[in-house]
Structure formats: C-alpha cells, structure tokens
C-alpha cells in the first residue's frame, strides 16, 4: 500500500497534489484496494465550475460498492481526465498517476491545512481496517 509523502489526504480517501495554487485530485491506493475492481467512473462537474469545499465531484463504482468523491478544496475546475471514464481500471493500477481525476485552481489554499499528511493518513487507514 502506497502513501506518497508529497500528497495531502482526506478521511474520505481522496488525495491532492499541489503545484502552486493548482490542486490535482484522485482517490488513494487504500480506497482502490478497499473497493477492489473499479468498473465505472463519472465526473459530475465540468471545466469552469466553481466548487466549494466538500462538493461532490465524481462517482466511482466497483464490483463491491459505489462511492462519491468530494473536493477537499474550493476553487474552479480547470481540467478533467477524459481518459478515465473509458478506463476506470486505471484507478486500480495507477491511483496516484494515470488515474488523476481533475485539477482545481484553488481559491483558498489555506483549506489544505485541514488535510492529513501521509503519516497521519496511513495511521487513519490502519485504524479503519481494524
């Protein structure tokens, strides 16, 4: 299970990669492992949409369960990974790379401080797996 140090994490298993005030969003290795084979992915926002922290941005379905994705930051959607809906299995094979979901121009980067670092997130997932 991978927990890259350079990323920020949420309790609902999204990761964020920050470059200047742009945030790239995806779901974590732990989440894909829990979901098992992902068979469906849909983004429910469009480029240009203004998001508030906590807004639902996508839907994932696996053979076991369905899950909503939430944006941990506020801002404007600048880019969406168009390849993902046709290749949802990328979420399983490359959660932190090819399976990025969307990019957001952050309006309030201070929100990142409420997210977990890799160590805290790893501990959080261990507690949840009992």
Considering the rule CB under 8 A, would residue 129 count as an interface residue with other proteins? yes
- When binding is defined by CB under 8 A, the residue of 64, 114, 119, 126 that contacts other proteins is 64
Residue with tokens 């290749």: 87
Token pair, residue 70, equals: 């939430």
Binding mask 77-106 for other proteins (x = CB under 8 A): -----------xx-----------------
Alpha carbon 2 to its chain centroid, in Å, reads 14
* Minimum CB distance to other proteins, residue 125 (Å): 11
- When binding is defined by CB under 8 A, the residue of 61, 76, 79, 94 that contacts other proteins is 61
Return the number of the residue (75 or 88) whose C-beta is nearest other proteins: 88
Helix extents (H) in 41-112: 90-93
Integer Cα distance of 83 and 100 in angstroms: 10
Helix extents (H) in 1-130: 29-35, 90-93, 118-129
Contact 63, 37 (CB under 8 A): yes
Considering the rule CB under 8 A, would residue 126 count as an interface residue with other proteins? no
Integer Cα distance of 75 and 50 in angstroms: 6
Beta bridge partners of 66: 61
* Minimum CB distance to other proteins, residue 64 (Å): 4
Binding mask 26-45 for other proteins (x = CB under 8 A): -----------x-xx-----
Binding residues for other proteins, rule: CB under 8 A, are 37, 39-40, 61, 63-66, 88-89, 129-130
């Amino acid at each position: 299970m991978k927990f890259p140090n350079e990323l920020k994490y949420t309790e609902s298993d999204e990761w964020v990669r920050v470059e200047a005030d742009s945030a790239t969003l995806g779901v974590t290795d732990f989440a894909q492992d829990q979901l098992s084979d992902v068979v469906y992915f849909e983004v429910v926002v469009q480029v240009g949409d203004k998001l508030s922290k906590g807004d639902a941005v996508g839907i994932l379905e696996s053979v076991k369960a369905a899950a909503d994705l939430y944006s941990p930051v506020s801002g404007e959607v600048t880019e969406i990974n168009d390849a993902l809906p046709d290749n949802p299995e990328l979420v399983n094979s490359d959660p932190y790379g090819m399976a990025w979901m969307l990019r957001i121009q952050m309006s309030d980067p201070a929100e990142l401080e409420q997210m977990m670092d890799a160590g805290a997130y790893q501990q959080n997932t261990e507690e949840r797996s009992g």
